[in-house]
């Protein structure tokens, strides 16, 4: 198959959310000699941009976004071992460990954040719902997370966000991970009070926030970055 | 003829039903089945944003049929066991046949008779105030008393507490069991202080997990079994053992329940049309699987964190009409606002959302969700009064007339939905000692109410 056709098919597989096809096409494209960074930028990232735009316009919905993210990840898993040095940083925006806090079973906000972060090139480790603070901290260490993103829709689960930061401090690892927070009852004031590194009102804010944090900043920040603050 | 499954059978099915991962349920099973139903019934792209309150009843009936079939096709996914609880056609039909068509909530002259309604039905839709907006411990008794005193409020839900005697309460711990009890005890005490001891209630909004519910509902001095137990569960079409703990506790107490779960426009159900059939399916299954007493019909729009936008209003109207015309259940639908107290936008958003729900035949509505429910103490009794007045006055308005009213209302607030003015907290919107709104807030209320009367909503004159 011609390189252009391989690129087109890989891009289409990501848009369609076909993870097995995306992985297979990525392997074939590498074998055909297409440079890995060309695949990342011109096939995978551009495909995720298409899906992201469709979501914004209301032409695609959360399932399509999630499946496209899975397909992009499957392709990247094949491609990334072939990339080294500076190119690796360009290919992978960063690793985010994401969770809905203990006591809270709401997953839709977290799922949207997960999907949108994937479209921005982040590797997302989604721990799911009802996750305890120790489990978040352990996963962040295991996955070498750049960012810990914590969601809750439940006010009585808010203190668990602070417990994650406390555990990081107590274990001497607060400088290893940014901590960002969001969800229904979460406010900029709460983010400041628990010394989080960032707050985003919605999923797009979360993605922009992660990009800003990964642009040369080091945790912990003296003041959280606030995106989408409510108008008083 | 098969009766709906009893709770023992439901529990058994949570362990023996078909295996499906949550990921597969969310990304393939639900979206695939929804797409299939939309196509089969010719419902794709039927959302009409130029007519935000649907009045094509044949369309609503087709949505009902699609929702009924979706309920049979999917059932509920159980998060704890990754299995599916399904019901047969006969079980679902019988559950709906035996579901109550009217329910008396509360006691004596202070109680409220909630009845099944139809589109344009003059029987008043019951108003439940307020949604679970967090209250500080200092303000909770004042705000709740103010709401309970509002005669346009039929049933009291109130805000939620997050601290107990200054201590942070942690979800899923004994703190929550204790908070549930304290919340319920204060709630009953406030109803008595307001001179409405028999006023019906829904609780417990401070109870997130089953622990809070165990502390609050059916306990001596807490929520009574003549009140409705609040049982919320995850979307789309998902339950967990937390949900079933609450259901079984309510049944053990001999109580009544209001089970609800919202469908999300933009989420797993996809477009507004998909959210409508998911919401209908979810409502129907709640009667067959959870032995629901009242409720069903919720829809949110994940893109706006609200549902008083055009697509949201349309979806609310179709869902309410579909359930009203094809069942005898008492549906419950929430209008989600984003603006806050002391803004005219909040009142316009209430009028449009609650007006559409009432005109379309829902039996009850809880609200308002002032400032999107996001900020502590951002709720006042005055917008609860306004909501109650709209619940009652918009009952009897035809969906077609309500559609014309919405066309006038939407331009007054829709530009601000993504960047709302969250207004002022209770302490700045009210004279706290006298429990009276500030002149500024009272003036806004009077002005908007006069506008509503001019638009054709028959609210009482001042």
pLDDT in tens, B143-167: 999 999 999 999 999 999 989 999 9
Report the residue of chain A nearest B135, measured CA to CA: A155
Instruction: Say how far apart CA A8 and CA A27 lie, in whole Å.
Output: 14
CA distance A221 to chain B (A): 25
Interface of B with A (CB under 8 A): 26-28, 30-31, 79, 134, 160, 162, 168-173, 175-176, 179, 206, 208-209, 234-235, 240, 242, 264, 266-271, 274, 302-303, 305, 371-375, 419-422
What angle is formed at CA B394 by the lines to CA B381 and CA B400, rounded to 5 degrees? 145
Q: What is the pLDDT of residues B315-324, one digit of tens each?
A: 999 999 999 9
- Mean pLDDT confidence for B114-119: 98
B305 chain-A contacts, CB cut-off 8 A:
202
pTM over 0.90: yes
Q: What is the pLDDT of residues A53-105, one digit of tens each?
A: 898 888 899 999 999 999 998 998 899 888 877 777 777 789 999 999 998 88
Token pair 């409020």 is found at B153
Q: Cis ω on the peptide bond leading into residue B368 (within 30° of 0)?
A: yes
Percent of chain B with pLDDT over 70: 99
Q: How many CB pairs under 8 A join A and B?
A: 100
Q: Give the pLDDT score at B284.
A: 98
| Closest residue by Cα to residue B372 from B183, B148, B134 | B134
pLDDT of residue A212: 96
Of B168, B242, B373, which has the smallest distance from its Cβ to A105's Cβ? B242
Residues of A in contact with B27 (CB under 8 A): 17, 63, 66-67
Chain A residues touching residue B25 (CB < 8 angstroms): none
B31 contacts A63? CB cut-off 8 A: yes
Tell me what pLDDT residue B178 has. Answer: 96
- Say what the pLDDT of residue A228 is: 84
Q: From the CA of A184, how many Å to the nearest CA of chain B?
A: 6
DSSP single-letter state for residue B29 = I
Nearest to B375 among A58, A107, A187 (CB): A187
Bridge partner residues of A100 (DSSP): A151
ipTM value:
0.88
Residue owning tokens 């559609």: B403
**Percent of chain A's residues with pLDDT above 90:** 69
Q: Is A18 on the interface with B (CB under 8 A)?
A: no
Contact A156 B79 (CB under 8 A): no
Strand partners, B132: none
SS3 B358: helix
Selected residues 84-103 of chain A with any CB under 8 Å from a CB in chain B: 102-103
At residue A126, the 3 state secondary structure works out as strand
- Of A61, A158, A182, which to mutate for an interface test with B (greatest number of B Cβ within 10 Å)? A61
The pLDDT of residue B54 is 98
A103-123 in b/e form (b: 16+ CB < 10 A) is bbbbbbbbbbbbbbbbbbbbb
Contacts of A55 in chain B (CB under 8 A): 266
Q: Residues, chain B, total?
A: 462
Domains observed in chain B: 102-125+254-455 (3.20.20.460)
- What pLDDT does residue B383 have? 98
Distances, alpha carbon A216 to alpha carbons A95, A122, A175, in Å: 15, 16, 14
pLDDT at B305: 82
Q: Which residues in chain A are closer than 8 Å to B213, comparing Cβ atoms? A: none
Specify the higher pLDDT residue, A82 or A164: A164
Rounded to the nearest integer, the mean pLDDT of chain A is: 92
Contact A157 B419 (CB under 8 A): no
**For residue A188, which residues of chain B lie inside 8 Å, CB to CB?**
none
Q: Residues of A with CB below 8 A from B31's CB?
A: 61, 63
- Residue A177, pLDDT > 90, answer yes
Q: Specify the higher pLDDT residue, A229 or B81.
A: B81
Chain B partners of A130 at a C-beta cutoff of 8 Å?
Answer: 172
How many CB atoms neighbour CB B254 within 10 A?
A: 8
**B302 to chain A: which residues are within 8 Å by CB?**
62, 108-109, 112
Q: Does A61 touch chain B (CB under 8 A)?
A: yes
**Cβ count within 10 A of residue B442:** 15
| pLDDT value of residue A108 | 84
Residues contacting A227, CB < 8 A, separation 6+: A198, A199, A200, A201, A205, A208, A209
DSSP readout, A168-209?
A: HHHTT-TTT-EEEEESTT--HHHHHHTT-SEEESSHHHHHHH
- The pLDDT score that the predictor gives to residue B2 is 61
Which residues are within 8 A (CB) of B459 and not within 5 positions of it... i.e. 6 or more apart?
B389, B390, B393, B449, B452, B453
Query: Is the pLDDT assigned to residue B1 strictly greater than 60?
Result: no
Residues A160, B254: Cα–Cα separation, whole Å:
35
pLDDT of residue A185: 87
Of A61, A160, A232, the CB nearest to B422: A232
Average pLDDT over residues B165-173: 93
Question: What is the C-alpha separation between B342 and B380, in angstroms, rounded?
Answer: 9
* Site of tokens 């053990």: B252
Q: Chain B residue with minimal CA distance to A185?
A: B374
Q: Are B210 and B246 in contact (CB under 8 A)?
A: yes
Give the distance, in angstroms, between the CA of residue B325 and the centroid of all CA atoms in the same chain.
19
Residue B302 has pLDDT above 90, yes or no: no
A38 has a chain B CB within 8 A of its CB: no
Per-residue pLDDT, B151 = 97
What pLDDT digit, counting tens, does each position of B398-421 carry?
999 999 999 999 999 999 998 999
A106 pLDDT tier (thresholds 50, 70, 90): confident
The predicted-structure confidence for A117-150, as pLDDT tens digits, reads as follows: 988 889 999 999 999 999 999 999 999 999 999 9
A84-88, B194-198, B213-217: least confidently modelled range: A84-88
Task: Please tell me which of the candidates A155, A156, A230 has its beta carbon nearest to residue B422.
Answer: A230
CB contact (8 A) between residue A187 and residue B209: no
Cβ pair B198, B109 in contact under 8 A: yes
Neighbours of B439 (CB within 10 A): 9
**Nearest CA of chain B to the CA of A85: how many Å?**
34
Q: What is the pLDDT of residue A232?
A: 67
């Amino acid at each position: 198959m011609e390189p252009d056709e391989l690129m087109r098919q890989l891009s289409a597989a990501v848009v369609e959310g076909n993870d097995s096809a995306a992985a297979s096409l990525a392997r074939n494209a590498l074998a055909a000699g297409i440079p890995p960074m060309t695949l990342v930028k011109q096939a995978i990232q551009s495909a995720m941009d298409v899906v992201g735009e469709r979501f914004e316009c209301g032409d695609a919905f959360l399932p399509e976004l999630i499946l496209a993210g899975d397909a992009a990840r499957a392709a990247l898993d094949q491609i990334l071992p072939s990339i080294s040095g500076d190119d690796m940083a360009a290919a992978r925006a960063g690793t985010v460990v994401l969770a809905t806090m203990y006591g809270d079973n709401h997953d839709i906000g977290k799922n949207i954040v997960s999907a949108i972060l994937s479209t921005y090139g982040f590797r997302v480790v989604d721990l799911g719902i009802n996750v305890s603070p120790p489990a978040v901290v352990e996963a962040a260490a295991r996955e070498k997370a750049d960012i810990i993103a914590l969601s809750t829709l439940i006010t009585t689960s808010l203190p668990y966000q602070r417990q994650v930061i406390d555990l990081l401090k107590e274990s001497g690892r607060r400088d290893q991970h940014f901590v960002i927070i969001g969800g229904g009852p979460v406010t900029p004031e709460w983010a400041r009070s628990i010394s989080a590194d960032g707050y985003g009102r919605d999923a797009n804010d979360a993605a922009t926030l992660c990009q800003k944090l990964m642009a040369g900043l080091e945790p912990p920040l003296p003041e959280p970055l606030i995106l989408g603050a409510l108008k008083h | 003829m098969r009766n709906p499954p009893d709770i023992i059978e439901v529990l058994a099915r949570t362990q023996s039903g078909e295996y499906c991962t949550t990921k597969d349920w969310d990304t393939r099973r639900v979206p695939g089945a929804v797409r299939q139903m939309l196509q089969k019934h010719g419902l794709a792209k039927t959302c009409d944003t130029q007519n935000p309150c649907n009045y094509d009843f044949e369309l609503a009936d087709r949505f009902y049929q699609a929702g009924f079939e979706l309920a049979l096709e999917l059932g509920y996914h159980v998060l704890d066991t990754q299995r599916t609880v399904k019901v047969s056609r006969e079980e679902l039909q019988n559950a709906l046949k035996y579901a109550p068509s009217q329910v008396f909530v509360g006691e004596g002259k202070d109680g409220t008779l909630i009845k099944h309604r139809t589109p344009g039905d003059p029987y008043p839709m019951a108003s439940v105030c307020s949604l679970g907006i967090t209250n500080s411990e200092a303000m909770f008794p004042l705000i709740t008393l103010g709401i309970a005193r509002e005669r346009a409020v039929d049933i009291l839900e109130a805000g939620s507490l997050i601290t107990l005697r200054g201590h942070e309460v942690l979800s899923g711990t004994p703190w929550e069991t204790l908070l549930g009890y304290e919340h319920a005890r204060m709630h009953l005490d406030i109803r008595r202080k307001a001179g409405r001891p028999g006023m019906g209630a829904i609780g417990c909004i401070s109870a997130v997990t089953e622990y809070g519910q165990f502390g609050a509902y059916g306990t001596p001095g807490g929520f009574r079994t003549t009140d409705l137990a609040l049982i919320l569960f995850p979307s789309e079409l998902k339950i967990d053992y937390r949900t079933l703990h609450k259901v079984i506790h309510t049944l053990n107490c001999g109580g009544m329940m209001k089970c609800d779960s919202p469908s999300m426009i933009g989420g797993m159900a996809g477009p507004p049309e998909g959210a409508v059939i998911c919401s209908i399916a979810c409502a129907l299954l709640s009667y067959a699987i959870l032995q629901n007493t009242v409720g069903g019909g919720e829809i949110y729009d994940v893109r706006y964190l609200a549902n008083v936008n055009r697509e949201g209003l349309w979806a609310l109207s179709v869902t309410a009409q579909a359930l009203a015309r094809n069942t005898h259940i008492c549906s419950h639908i929430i209008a989600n606002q984003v603006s806050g107290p002391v803004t005219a936008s909040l009142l316009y958003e209430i009028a449009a959302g609650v007006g559409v729900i009432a005109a379309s035949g829902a039996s009850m509505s809880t609200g308002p969700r002032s400032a999107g429910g996001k900020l502590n103490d951002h709720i006042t009794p005055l917008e609860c009064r306004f909501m109650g007045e709209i619940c009652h006055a918009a009952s009897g308005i035809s969906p077609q007339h309500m559609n014309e009213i919405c066309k006038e209302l939407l331009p007054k607030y829709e530009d601000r939905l993504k960047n709302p003015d969250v207004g002022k907290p209770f302490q700045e919107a009210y004279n706290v000692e006298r429990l009276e709104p500030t002149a500024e807030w009272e003036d806004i209320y009077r002005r908007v109410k006069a506008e509503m009367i001019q638009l054709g909503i028959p609210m009482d004159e001042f």
